[in-house]
Chains A and B, each alone.
Chain A
Amino acid sequence: MDALTRDPPQNAAVQDPARPQLDLELRGIRKRFGGFTAVDGVSLKVEKGQFVCLLGPSGCGKTTTLRCIAGLEEPDDGGILIGGKEVTRDPPWQRDIAMMFQDFALFPHMTVAKQVGFGLEMLKKPKAEIAKRVQHVLKSFEILELAERKPASLSGGQRQRVALARAMITEPRILLLDEPIGALDYSLRETVMLELKLLQQRTGISFIWVTHDQNEAFSLGDLVVVMNHARIEQQGSPEDILQRPATAFVAGFVQGNNVFRGKVVGEGAGVLSVETAAGTFRVPAIGTPPVLGSDVSFSVRAEQLTDAPTDQHPNRLTVQCTTVEYFGAVRRHIFQRRDGELLKYDQFGAHAQRVAVGQTAVLGWQVEDSVLHVGVAR
């Protein structure tokens, strides 16, 4: 991919020198379809060469956000800046982006070579240059031997490569990817993910990757943006989101969190007492402590629990084990909580099983392992 070197920014004059250069900025974009609000005030800053994952359940507005960035939808409100240039009302073909579609959207009547060269053709590059660059890109994506084939005769993995080559050849500032590996066989995904991550790092093109799969988001993203109901719930590094979920939704959406909702019944020395249907627990306060009696939620990660609580584990629950799932790396125990929800407790997979199905156990965790959700509870 050494051919994919970036041109110098064409709009350097528009840049605000005080700010670090942003590849993309969304300023409170809103999009409604009839009575349905698909995107409701989404703001986002993407630094140069960042790998951003928009993560959320289906219908959360992540794809609409992506389509707004591409120019395929026009936001009702708000602004979109690409490389510091206002493009909110610009059509897709005037934006410095490329897009990879979920089902790849290959042109059925064009050969792979024609298809990959299409973007350069549109940029009115000379024929000889197009042929040379297509050749080079096909070679670097290891699909040179497919050059004269048409999409109908390609496998899923091959199509994915062609779609990627077609999008990358114009060296856009931002590559938008809508569930780019969702259509691939499961066994292929891990390899392709790694390849894409390496490609992104090598080219320095910002990737905006839409997915509902948190494994993809957390293993790929420099910045993960969790969306729900047309809004951003939380954005941060994968570690931020996994270790410090900001809302009950984020905590419940990402794997391995036990979420509790309750009322603040006491406060002292920076620790809150929270009364829930499953018992009363001690949770460290963050920022301005909530007033007594207010509704709060917190979570604790499944791997932070212990089945042999000591004095250091004042938060305790007596629960019965209903299922044990073995994933190799972890052994997950599912318990029935008193408030009707499930409690998850993870052990290292390499360790011997300590709690059997049907067994009642006392599980505990340290005060500082509870994470209070500071985001607006919705």
Chain B
Amino acid sequence: MSTIRVRSPASYWLAVPAAVWMLGVVVVPIVLLVWVSLWSGRAFSPASPLTFDNYAKFFANPTYIKLIGSTVVHTATLMAVTGVLGYCIAYFLVVKVRSPRWRLVLFLAFIVPFWTSTLIRAIAWVPFLGVNGVINQTLMFVGVTQSPIEAFLYSRAGITMAQVSLYTMLAAGPVVYMLNSIPPQLREAAMTLKAAPFTVFRRIIFPLTLPGVVIGQVLVFLNVMSDFATVATIGGNKHALLSNLVMLFYESSQIRGASVVAVMLMLCMLVGVVVALRVVDIRRLGA
């Protein structure tokens, strides 16, 4: 078997296709986006002088500032809920389900819905959450409420419920991987060193799965921040997050405004990922 040395010409040439692709679909669009966000004046033209006026306008509007805040709060809520739920699911799948066949069946049951697009799955929540939806009819049938609860659909709670269902497996997946890679003897060694099960979890299992938790959180964070579709479908026109603002500006042909919000969104995401990488070095995951 021949190997390619790290700094040989061949290794650079082999990187060219990927580099060209990344340049075309990631780097150039981002540069364009930032450029457009700095255009001033009224004319939509590359000749526009570059200023920070658009940003000033954005920050001058307290509604937008509040929107950043509520987006962060909403995302943090989702990260917390999917984090706990995802960890429980992962732990259940790996530790509690002993039969490999059942584990596969359950894992598929969790994964198969992901074969559909996020938008379709978001829309699928509407008949569940509506005033005459499945949840309300069930609640009324059981006798929990007399009249349907309207707060499910077109509400922040409804958005959260739908997004939890959409993104929990993103939080669970990396944890499943990390849990699987922990040799069972570590748990046993800790027990013979007088650690009771919860202590074993707190001192051994959880620290060893932390990289998986952080990666899962990054995935949920990025997805929720950029998910305008679920918010638009479940939230109706009553609720919006930063990503919906991009859509709003775009649909009203305010391209510069749209790019300013997009850049803000991107910065938020970047900050989030940097913070996550401070906690855990993902590159050293295999070690």
Physical interaction between A and B: yes
Are B185 and A105 in contact, CB atoms less than 8 angstroms apart?
A: yes
A105-B183, A107-B204, A152-B287 are known contacts. Are A99 and B195 too (CB-CB below 8 A)?
no
Known: A107-B204, A109-B208, A122-B199. A93 touches B194 (CB 8 A): yes
Across the interface, which residues of B come within 8 angstroms of A103, CB to CB? 183, 185
| Chain B residues whose C-beta falls within 8 Å of the C-beta of A176 in the assembled complex | 192
What residues on B are CB-neighbors of A106 within 8 Å?
A: 189
Shortest beta-carbon distance, B212 to chain A, in Å?
A: 13
CB pair A109–B207 under 8 Å, yes or no, is yes
| Chain A window 119-130, contacts with chain B (Cβ cutoff 8 Å), 1 for yes, 0 for no | 100110000000
State A101–B191 Cα separation when bound (angstroms).
Answer: 12
Write the chain B residue with the least CB distance to A163. Answer: B189
Inter-chain contact B195/A105, CB cutoff 8 Å:
no
Residue of A nearest to B185 (CB): A105
User: Given A72-B188, A105-B183, A107-B186, are A166 and B193 neighbors across the interface (CB < 8 Å)?
Assistant: yes
Is B196 positioned at the interface, with any CB of A under 8 Å from its CB? Answer: yes
B182 nearest CB neighbor, chain A only: A108
Q: Is B190 an interface residue (CB 8 A)?
A: yes
Q: Is the CB of A170 within 8 A of B194?
A: yes
B208 touches A108 (CB 8 A): yes
Distance from A299 Cβ to chain B, minimum over Cβ atoms (Å): 38
Contact with B along A5-44 (1 / 0, CB 8 A): 0000000000000000000000000000000000000000
Nearest Cβ distance between residue B279 and chain A, in whole angstroms? 14
Q: How far is the CA of A215 from the CA of B192 in the complex (A)?
A: 28
A59 / chain B contacts, CB cutoff of 8 Å: none
For residues 160 through 179 of chain B, which have their beta carbon under 8 Å from a beta carbon of chain A? none
Chain B contacts of A119 at CB under 8 A?
Answer: 193-194
Which of chain B's residues have a CB closer than 8 A to the CB of A181? Answer: none
The distance in angstroms between the C-alpha atoms of A108 and B185, with both chains bound, is 12
- CB atoms of A99 and B190 under 8 A apart: no
Judging by beta carbons under 8 Å apart, are A72 and B194 in contact?
Answer: no
Tell yes or no: A92 within 8 A of B by CB: yes
Q: Is the CB of B190 within 8 A of A97?
A: no
> Are A105 and B188 in contact (CB-based, < 8 A)?
yes
Given the complex of chains A and B, what is the CA–CA distance between A95 and B204 in angstroms?
20
Q: Which of A95, A107, A170 contacts B190 (CB 8 A)?
A: A107
Question: Once the chains are docked, how many angstroms separate the CA of A16 from the CA of B181?
Answer: 47
Chain A's closest residue to B200 (CB) is: A93
**B203 / chain A contacts, CB cutoff of 8 Å:** 118
Q: Is A252 an interface residue (CB 8 A)?
A: no
Residues of A within 8 A of B195 (CB): 93, 118, 122
- The distance in angstroms between the C-alpha atoms of A166 and B203, with both chains bound, is 16
Which one of B186, B192, B204 contacts A98 once the chains associate, using CB atoms below 8 Å?
Answer: B192
Residues of B within 8 A of A107 (CB): 186, 189-190, 204
Mark interface residues in A161-178 (1 if CB within 8 Å of B CB, else 0).
000001100100000100
3 interchain residue pairs of minimum CB distance: A105-B189, A105-B185, A122-B194
Known: A72-B191, A92-B192, A170-B194. 20 other contacts (CB 8 A): A70-B188, A72-B188, A72-B192, A92-B188, A93-B191, A93-B192, A93-B195, A93-B196, A98-B192, A99-B192, A101-B185, A103-B185, A105-B185, A106-B189, A107-B190, A107-B204, A108-B287, A109-B208, A119-B194, A166-B193
